[in-house]
Structure 1
Amino acid sequence: MDGRIASVVPGRSEAVLPSPCIQNHAANLARLADGSLACVWFGGTMEGMGDISIYLSRLAAGSDRWSAPEKLSDDPDKSEQNPLLFTAPDRKVWLLYTSQTSGNQDGAVVKRRVSADGGRTFGPVSTLCDVPGTFVRQPIVVNSAGHWLLPVFRCIGIPGTRWTGDADTAAVLISSDSGESWTMHDVPDSIGAVHMNIVPLGGDRMAAFYRNRFAEQVLRSESQDGGRSWSAPEPTDLPNNNSSVQAVALGDGRIAIVYNHSNAGMSDARRLSLYDEIEADGDEAQAQTAARFGPAAIWGVARAPLSLAISDDGGLSFPDRRDLETGDGYCLSNNSKDGLNREFSYPSIVGEGGTLHIAFTYYRRAIKYIRLDLEPRP
């Protein structure tokens, strides 16, 4: 894992980012003002543990090697997860991530560090949102009015049970004062729709794509007012396995999305919850949750293949699909120390001209990077 980029086939180059950690997960890519491509992710021994921290590696403009990672968070009592980078209109770089105790996502808050030098160094840690259970995954979008849109999902705790994701919903935090203050706007009828990913479609029209807690289909909704209000999420023609997706608008009007082409109907693999290896959670308690609040979130569906799909109708359909990585996608364990996990998951994608930059979790042991030449629109 020296971070060097190598060509594997014409039009495709790859690298494995360097990391000192046993487990590495949840990458997010961003282009910085100095021309470097930055990747942030979380690493440690296992998701939910107190040694999970945020790391950053850079690919300098013109370089063929990712840099040694920098550790950007270090609270020994918290699992710090799901980082993202945002270059604000004033060129300051914001790092956002979540902070929780053990597997209690319903107690998570959103932390922030801000860089005044283009992402070379970051200021002190502060709290952006202290509403318990607020989680981030996808980048901030600035709408045509200059308002900042931060898509979030609400990890809803059910009294008497541990969090398992059964009642999670989507929302958007909106700031009209460059991140000084934020208001929460819920997405209607969004139980089970998480990891909201906003893609501008032109003017005030926007689409959003969602992970599906019930492992059915990737979900989609629309806004006609710059992201303040949204339609209820509806299924697309892409399957989803209750794992993250990320989409980006391309310069030619198409949308590219990276996701796992898998769902509960394609795989009978199941586990009790995301954190069942670090916290006891009884079958009876989960059954009670399902009975009281509707269907239970489905965990453990294979996280493979990792696929790329292209839409030319604003994300209403994705007829052009190819697999980027194939395997069995085994994710009934988060164990990286013993090499048990074999998932390809949590992709991030940046589109630049005819090039796609993609980063994703590789077996929960590493973050893998792919640079892919994209065929022009027919």
Structure 2
Amino acid sequence: MTAQTERTQQIFQVNDTFTWLREPLLRRLPDESLCCALFTGGGSDGDLRNVVAAIRSDDDGATWSQPEVLKQLSGQSAWAPSMMVHAGQAHIFWFSSHDRHRYRKVNHLLSTGSDGRTFTEDQTILPGWNAERGVDVRHGTVLRDGRVLLPIAWLDPVRDFDPETWVDRGTNRRYGNFGWGGVAQNNQYCVGVMEANDAFTEFTRHGRVTKSMPGWEIPGVPFFENAIADLGDGKVAMLIRADLTNQLWRTDSDDGGLTWGEPRPTSIPNPGSKPRIINLPDGRIVLFHNPNKKDYDDVRAHSHKYRTPLEMWVSDDGMDTWQQRETLVPSPALAQYPDGFYDHDAHCIYLVWENDRTISFRKIAV
């Protein structure tokens, strides 16, 4: 069956004030408006001018507001990698850093107040975890048993290392996209999940998934930007971005995310870009991603040019096979960082993605 889609709208474009953008996040807020959060303001990841911003729609996506700044810290960079709406509140997980090294970050949680619209409550979270150079919190889901799980990624040091004083002395440039040289050489990339209570005031970490690679210049496969799917009966699956491997990797849990199995490569091509998983009420799983491979030795090319096409794959057997595959944005157009949600009333997915300069929006009936 072919998904019915509305036309694609361009809802944001960089300008003289917001000169760059990354990773839009789309949710319906408790007040029923649509909110698309992003980080922007500087010229790249880690720019100290970056802020957490948002655009909004009060007419179900027909029109969109001008961007507003939600959070800005003087002299610090901002990233905003995930947003979740639960128990009458919207929560943006974001982190700040006083320099370009995201691994020196501090985790924050920005939440809506009583009106279900205005982000007023900001707090520092996971303070005991920041010793591991911060935690990258990704898109969470409410399991069928009511528990809230959010995929996370972090670094475990394997030797003493200070990224502020480290000098690159010839590390292969193919590692530069994800590790800034010495960071990748001196740390093990780990993924897992964290469980939140309904008020998002307590978080418990579960799992530590890694894959050592003897003979590599770095300790292991660079796992991050992971996504989870609820398979039912206590089973949860995780797909993982794994740079240098040209594939998404997978690990599974049989106990609701408390423990995880050995990670393994899938047959799903990936150029080093974020996958997005959305669970549908009928049990199907939808994957938005870039099924492409990257030439990691092509250090002269724009690092994102391989993030194309943008496709939607649908599985009805727990992601073992994919019964439906549709191209939303064909090659060679850049289309990265897809995000969105399933709307139970409209019976469709509200989706956004970006290409470094614009954010696109589309509704897809499923």
TM range (shorter): 0.7 to 0.9
Matched residue, 1:69: 67
**Deviation (angstroms), 1:118:** 4.8
Matched, 1:271 2:299: yes
Change (3 A) 1:368 1:155: farther
Change (3 A) 1:85 1:326: same
Instruction: Tell me the distance in 2 between the aligned counterparts of 1:209 and 1:239.
Output: 12
Matched residue, 2:10: 16
Instruction: Tell me the distance in 2 between the aligned counterparts of 1:125 and 1:176.
Output: 17
Q: Give 1:38's aligned amino acid.
A: C
Change (3 A) 1:372 1:175: closer
Matched, 1:117 2:138: no
Instruction: Tell me the distance in 2 between the aligned counterparts of 1:188 and 1:215.
Output: 16
SS, match of residue 18 in structure 1: strand
Matched residue, 2:141: 141
Q: Is the 8 A contact 1:25 1:366 kept in 2?
A: no
Change (3 A) 1:77 1:164: farther
Change (3 A) 1:269 1:366: farther
The Cα offsets for residues 252-300 of structure 1, whole Å up to 9 and x where unpaired, read as 3211111111123xx46633999xxxxxxxxxxxxxxxxxxxxxxxx65
Change (3 A) 1:215 1:366: farther
**Deviation (angstroms), 1:325:** 1.4
Q: TM-score, normalised by structure 1?
A: 0.77
Matched, 1:232 2:232: no
- 1:317-332 equivalences in 2 (<5 Å): 317-328=321-332
Matched residue, 2:318: 314
The Cα offsets for residues 142-167 of structure 1, whole Å up to 9 and x where unpaired, read as 34554432211114566255434873
Matched, 1:244 2:264: no
Q: Give 2:352's aligned amino acid.
A: A
Of residues 108, 126, 129 in structure 1, which corresponds to 2:126? 129
Instruction: Tell me the distance in 2 between the aligned counterparts of 1:300 and 1:98.
Output: 23
Runs of 4+ in 1 over 6 A off after TM superposition: none
Instruction: Tell me the distance in 2 between the aligned counterparts of 1:129 and 1:146.
Output: 22
**Deviation (angstroms), 1:345:** 0.8
SS, match of residue 97 in structure 1: strand
Matched residue, 2:183: 163
Change (3 A) 1:148 1:102: same
- 1:21-100 equivalences in 2 (<5 Å): 21-45=18-42, 46-62=44-60, 64-89=62-87, 91-100=88-97
Matched, 1:206 2:227: no
Instruction: Tell me the distance in 2 between the aligned counterparts of 1:344 and 1:164.
Output: 26
Change (3 A) 1:56 1:113: same
RMSD over equivalenced CA pairs, Å: 2.8
Q: Give the number of aligned pairs.
A: 325
**Deviation (angstroms), 1:235:** 2.2
Change (3 A) 1:235 1:18: same
Q: Is the 8 A contact 1:40 1:83 kept in 2?
A: no
Matched, 1:360 2:358: no
Q: Give 1:369's aligned amino acid.
A: F
The Cα offsets for residues 216-243 of structure 1, whole Å up to 9 and x where unpaired, read as 2112222222222122222222111111
Q: Is the 8 A contact 2:250 2:266 kept in 1?
A: yes
SS, match of residue 314 in structure 1: coil
Matched, 1:101 2:93: no
SS, match of residue 303 in structure 1: coil
The Cα offsets for residues 286-328 of structure 1, whole Å up to 9 and x where unpaired, read as xxxxxxxxxxxxx656111111111121112224222211343
**Deviation (angstroms), 1:346:** 0.9
What fraction of aligned residue pairs are identical, expressed as a percent?
22
Instruction: Tell me the distance in 2 between the aligned counterparts of 1:72 and 1:142.
Output: 25
Q: Give 1:204's aligned amino acid.
A: G
Q: TM-score, normalised by structure 2?
A: 0.79
Give ranges in structure 1 of 5+ residues lacking alignment.
1-8, 275-298, 330-342
Instruction: Tell me the distance in 2 between the aligned counterparts of 1:222 and 1:312.
Output: 17
Matched residue, 1:339: none
Instruction: Tell me the distance in 2 between the aligned counterparts of 1:41 and 1:200.
Output: 26
Instruction: Tell me the distance in 2 between the aligned counterparts of 1:200 and 1:271.
Output: 37
SS, match of residue 79 in structure 2: strand
**Deviation (angstroms), 1:120:** 1.8
Q: Is the 8 A contact 1:270 1:301 kept in 2?
A: no
Give ranges in structure 2 of 5+ residues lacking alignment.
167-180, 212-220
Instruction: Tell me the distance in 2 between the aligned counterparts of 1:272 and 1:103.
Output: 22
Q: Give 1:152's aligned amino acid.
A: I
Instruction: Tell me the distance in 2 between the aligned counterparts of 1:272 and 1:316.
Output: 36
Q: Give 1:77's aligned amino acid.
A: G
Matched residue, 1:286: none
Q: Give 2:134's aligned amino acid.
A: T
Instruction: Tell me the distance in 2 between the aligned counterparts of 1:241 and 1:135.
Output: 23
